[in-house]
Amino acid sequence: MNSRILYCAVFASLVVLANFLCTVEVVESRKHLNRLPRLNIAKQSFGVSGLSAGAFMAVQFQVAFSKSICGAGVIAGGPFFCSFGNVLIALNQCMRMPEMIDLSLINDIVEGMKLDNLIDDTSNLRNHRMYLFSGLEDVMVVQGVMKKLHQQLTQYFNMSNIVADWNVPAEHAMITNDYGNVCNYLGEPWINNCGLDSAGKVLNVVMGATLKNGSSYVDDNLYTFSQTGNYSALSFDDKGYVYIPTACHGGRVQCAAHLVFHGCNQGARYIGETFVIHSGYLKHAEANNIIMLFPQVKKEGIIEPNPQGCFDWFAYTGLDFATKKGVQMRAIANMMTDLGVQIY
C-alpha cells in the first residue's frame, strides 16, 4: 500500500457521494475582517478543542501554551507528540495501533521540551479542565488511542478535572444532537447526530461552569478574517472564521474565548461553512458570550506534505511543529493575542 493510499484510508479522503447527506454551505457575502479586533477577554477563560487531526492539534496547543489556557476538549485525538514527527507513526500507532504508543519515551521528550522552553511548564496542566470523547465504533482513530491520551494525562492532571465519554456508539465524527449523518456513519462532513451535544459538553467542562442553553446563533456575528501576515503558515487557507457574540462587540463586556480546530478534509475548501456552523459551538457561544475562532487549513500537494488538509501534528511544517516555535502554533497564538487573549 503506497503512501497516498495510506493517507486516503486513514484520513478518510474518500468522498462517498451517494451517501453524502450534507449540503456544502458557503456565504459569499459574509462580512470580512482584515485583522482580528481586540476584544475584552476575561482572564483564565481561553479554551481549545478539536476533532481528529484537530484534536491532536488542540492537545499540542494546550501543552505548548499551558500557561495561557484553562482547558481543552479532545474528540477522536490522541497523546501529545504521538507521531514523533513521523507520518507513518501518525498513520499507524497514533490511529489504529495504540499498543505501540511509547508514552515513556514521549514523556522524556516532553521534559526536554520544557527544559528548552519550547513548551510551558507542564505544572500548569494540573488545574486544566478537559473533556475527552471517543466513539465505540470509531475505526479511524480507535478508542485505545484516546485511552492512551487519558493515561498520559495522569501524571500531569488533577484527574477529577477530566470528563470522558467512552460509551457512545459513534463513528469518527464531530458529535451533535441536532445535525449530521447517523451516529455510526463514516464520511463527509464528519458530523454525526448521536443525540449528544459534544460542543456543549466541551464548553461546559472547559469553562468549569454550567452554561446557559443556547438555541440559535446570529448569522451576522460570524465573520471571515484574513489568514495573512503573522496569521499565515504553511497550508493555512486564505481565510478563517471568527464568531463574535452580540454582547462582545466593541469590548462592552468581558467574554470568554475558545479556539476550534477542524479535522482533515473538513476545512472550508472541502465542506464550506458546514463545520463552523453545524459543529454545535455557535449557539452556545451566543448564549454565553464566548468568542469562537475557527482557523482554516487547506491541502498542500497531492501526496505530500499535506494532501488531506490537516493541521500539523506530524511535522509537515518542520520538526518544531508541536512547540511554541511551530509556524502554525505561532500563527494561531498571534490570532488569539490580537483578539485580546493573554498568550505567554
Catalytic residue among 138, 198, 279, 284: 138
Closest CA to 26 of 222, 230, 186: 222
Close Cβ partners of 114 (under 8 Å, ≥ 6 residues apart): 120, 121, 122
Q: Collect all residues with Cβ–Cβ distance below 8 Å to 95 and sequence separation of at least 6.
A: 10, 78, 140, 141, 142, 145
Q: Within 13 Å, how many C-alpha atoms sit on residue 228's CB side?
A: 8
User: Coil, helix or strand for 130?
Assistant: strand
Please work out, in degrees rounded to the nearest 5, the angle formed at the alpha carbon of residue 24 by the alpha carbons of 22 and 26: 150
138 included as an active-site residue: yes
Whether the Cβ atoms of residue 258 and residue 48 lie closer than 8 Å to each other? yes
Biggest CA pair distance of the chain: 56
Please report the sign of the dihedral spanned by the C-alpha atoms of residue 52, residue 57, residue 60, residue 66.
negative
- Give the 3-state DSSP-derived string for 19-76, with helices as H, strands as E and coil as C: HCCCCCECCCCCCEECCCCCCCEEEEEEEEEEECHHHHHHHHHHHHCCCCCCEEEEEC
Which member of 13, 45, 49, 52 is catalytic? 52
User: Is the separation of the CB atoms in 60 and 322 below 8 Å?
Assistant: yes
Q: Decide if 52 is catalytic.
A: yes
- Cis previous bond, 305, omega within 30: yes
What residues does 288 pair with on adjacent strands? none
Question: Residue 183's closest CA among 169, 165, 167?
Answer: 169
Question: Among residues 128, 150, 172, 258, which one is catalytic?
Answer: 172
Q: Catalytic: 172?
A: yes
**What is the rounded CA–CA span in Å between residue 200 and residue 190?**
18
Which residues participate in catalysis according to the annotation?
52, 138, 172
